[in-house]
């Protein structure tokens, strides 16, 4: 009987390892996925991605209503927590002019930081 014990232990370990390796990874409810961000039609489908949280920072690209980038953070607010930076003006979600200084970090050119103006953006969860 002792000669069978190592074989049983090996088979049990191999079966457990196979089950663990083949199960799909699932995110817990507490782990929020970062939102996707794009331009809003209210701003003529243009949203600038900048190298810093200021309108004077280098323009990296301009997103449209059809192309997206991923937010770096997932918080209670889309793309939050936000960074306080330079002041900007754009058309907000209610089609009124908005002046704000909140910026969100996005993954446009990771690992280098990139930012979008929060009030000018549209978010998709």
Question: Which residues, listed in sequence order, are joined to residue 88 by a DSSP beta bridge?
Answer: 100
Residue 21 lies in a domain: no
Whether residue 49 contacts residue 61, with contact meaning beta carbons closer than 8 Å, is answered with: yes
pTM higher than 0.85: no
Range of the domain at 46: 36-124
Residue 29 lies in a domain: no
Residue 118 lies in a domain: yes
Domain count, the chain: 1
Residue 57 lies in a domain: yes
Whether residue 112 contacts residue 51, with contact meaning beta carbons closer than 8 Å, is answered with: yes
Residue 25 lies in a domain: no
- pLDDT tens-digit series, residues 40-99: 999 999 999 999 999 999 999 999 999 999 999 988 888 999 999 999 999 987 889 999
Residue 70 lies in a domain: yes
Output the CA torsion sign for 56, 87, 49, 103.
positive
- Percentage of the residues of the chain whose pLDDT score is greater than 70: 74
Residue 108 lies in a domain: yes
Closest CA to 56 of 86, 82, 90, 101: 86
Closest CA to 39 of 64, 74, 2: 64
């Amino acid at each position: 009987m002792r000669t069978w014990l190592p074989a049983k232990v090996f088979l049990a370990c191999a079966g457990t390892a196979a089950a663990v390796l083949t199960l799909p990874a699932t995110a817990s409810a507490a782990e929020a996925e970062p939102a996707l961000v794009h331009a809003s039609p209210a701003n003529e489908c243009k949203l600038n991605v900048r190298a810093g949280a200021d309108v004077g920072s280098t323009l990296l690209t301009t997103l449209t209503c059809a192309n997206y980038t991923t937010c770096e953070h997932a918080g209670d607010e889309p793309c939050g927590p936000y960074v306080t930076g330079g002041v900007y003006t754009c058309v907000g979600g209610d089609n009124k002019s908005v002046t704000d200084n909140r910026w969100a970090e996005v993954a446009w050119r990771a690992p280098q930081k990139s930012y979008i103006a929060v009030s000018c953006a549209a978010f998709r969860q």
